[in-house]
Amino acid sequence: MSSTASTSKILVIDDNPTNLEVLCGALDGQGYELLVEMDGHGGIEQAQTNKPNLILLDVMMPGINGFETCQILKENPTTREIPVIFMTALTETENKVRGLKLGAVDYITKPFQQEEVIARIQVHLQLHQVTQELAAQKAQLEERVQVRTADLTQALEELKAAHLSIVQSEKMSSLGQLVAGIAHEINNPVNFINGNMAHLEDYAEGALKLLELYRTHYPNGDAEIEELAEDIELDFLQEDFPKVMSSMRLGIQRISEIVTGLRNFSRHDEAEMKPVNIHEGIDSTLLILQHRFKPHPDRPKIEIIQDYGKLPNVECYAGALNQVIMNLVGNAIDSIEETNQPGQIIIQTCPVQETHVQIRIKDTGTGIKDEIRDKIFDPFFTTKPIGKGTGLGLSISYKIVTEKHGGTLTCSSQVGEGTEFLIEIPVHQSSHAESCSPNSLRDSLREAFTA
């Protein structure tokens, strides 16, 4: 601390030349740099420009007195911290109290006792320096706390996101298994019925022909036969039977298609990247959402337009990509339903320079307001009522497209007109695929923990 003395600037504000002389004499040779002003205004100006380490301030001065000077110094942020010591006559207790109340740190009494003056000045210079060091340390500490808090907050966010992906991928994987299981189980009986349908049609046709022949050759049958023919409405039966058969055939074909769609959707081989036909994925996803396009008294009609370009097979996690399409088309349906007007969803695909493909999903729904455009990809952000929206669809889709496939997912929208989401992914996954193995989730979680 002894270095303080050699570098400290002391400003003396006093109008009395005798006092100044005595003080300067006392402080001379102590290694201080002395600044002198003879009135309050000059003192304030000097304090502002030269930033002394300490101010010795006289009370009685022409112009503004010491109290007013002190008040102005304490109100100004640039001079507020400079310690002020009042100089007052021994008897003026009132002045001492007033000065201290105004923010002075001490007083010295006239006539000056040299040693006392020097001792007090030293004490306050040291105090001031320690206070300043403390303040600096405090600021440093606060800054460190802020940095740490930011680090922790980020780690927490990452952890939450990693957790979210794990939960979601678990959910999707069990959904995928369920769908694949059901599809597999239904597949056998469906094939069974499908295969027998042809025989059934043949047999029924034969039997009906035979009946027809009987009726032609023996028009006047026995009364009991006639009665039964009437009971079972034979004429109608003969006419309706082929219709029943063909409607059953349609039904069974439809189930077959659905089973194929389900298998395609679940793509149980999805743990690996494989070159797949993107259009098959889109079609099977649309099949699963089919029930939401069907006309319904409470819902507007939604027309789906598929405008497919010529795409190469694309190396991707087919199941995950189908999930993205499902989320985007699901949102498009929600948005059109919100308008209460019939609408359209256009699904467009096209190649980009042989290296990438684009999938656009465009709707004529509500559009997205500017103020929430930045938030829609955030986990848990939703504008839908509780129970309807989870706010997870887009954040997961974003992760799947960008992290799993090295692609981009962007959105453009006009309120009142609609929204378009654009997926662009590379046709081939190079080094990128490596870093996005299913293990990478676990790795990112581990990183978040150790961060």
Ligand X SMILES: Nc1ncnc2c1ncn2[C@@H]1O[C@H](COP(=O)(O)OP(=O)(O)O)[C@@H](O)[C@H]1O
**Which positions touch ligand X (CB under 6 A)?**
327, 331-332, 335, 363, 365-366, 368, 376, 381-384, 389-395, 419
Q: Position of tokens 């006092």?
A: 19
Question: What is the number of the residue whose Cβ is closest to ligand X?
Answer: 393
**Which 378-397 residues touch Mg ion, going by CB under 5 A?**
393
Question: Cβ of residue 259: shortest distance to ligand X, in angstroms?
Answer: 28
Question: Cβ of residue 257: shortest distance to Mg ion, in angstroms?
Answer: 26
The candidate with the shortest Cα–Cα distance to 39, out of 72, 56, 64, is: 64
Q: How far is it, in rounded angstroms, from Cα 357 to Cα 311?
A: 7
User: Which of Mg ion, ligand X, none lies near 366, with the C-beta cut-off 5 to 8 A by kind?
Assistant: ligand X
Rule CB under 5 A: say whether 331 interacts with Mg ion. Answer: yes
Q: How far is it, in rounded angstroms, from Cα 257 to Cα 266?
A: 14
User: Which of ligand X, Mg ion, none lies near 376, with the C-beta cut-off 5 to 8 A by kind?
Assistant: ligand X
Question: Cβ of residue 331: shortest distance to Mg ion, in angstroms?
Answer: 4
Residue (168 or 419) nearer to ligand X, CB: 419
Which tokens in the block code for residue 107?
């007083």
Residue (199 or 388) nearer to Mg ion, CB: 388
User: Which of Mg ion, ligand X, none lies near 44, with the C-beta cut-off 5 to 8 A by kind?
Assistant: none
Q: How far is it, in rounded angstroms, from Cα 53 to Cα 84?
A: 9
Residue (284 or 335) nearer to ligand X, CB: 335
Question: Cβ of residue 157: shortest distance to ligand X, in angstroms?
Answer: 17
End-to-end CA distance of the chain: 41
User: Which of Mg ion, ligand X, none lies near 390, with the C-beta cut-off 5 to 8 A by kind?
Assistant: ligand X
Q: Name the DSSP class of 385.
A: P
Cis geometry, peptide bond prior to residue 111 (ω within 30 degrees of 0)? yes
Q: How far is it, in rounded angstroms, from Cα 276 to Cα 377?
A: 27
Q: How far is it, in rounded angstroms, from Cα 194 to Cα 184?
A: 15
Residue (393 or 426) nearer to Mg ion, CB: 393
Quick check: 52 and 9 in contact, CB under 8 A? yes
Q: Are strands 9-13 and 33-37 parallel, antiparallel or unpaired?
A: parallel
Question: Cβ of residue 397: shortest distance to Mg ion, in angstroms?
Answer: 9
Question: Cβ of residue 366: shortest distance to ligand X, in angstroms?
Answer: 5
Specify the length of the chain in residues: 451
Rule CB under 5 A: say whether 365 interacts with Mg ion. Answer: no
Which tokens in the block code for residue 448?
């978040």
User: Which of ligand X, Mg ion, none lies near 273, with the C-beta cut-off 5 to 8 A by kind?
Assistant: none
Residue (126 or 383) nearer to ligand X, CB: 383
Using CB under 5 A, list all residues that contact Mg ion: 331, 393
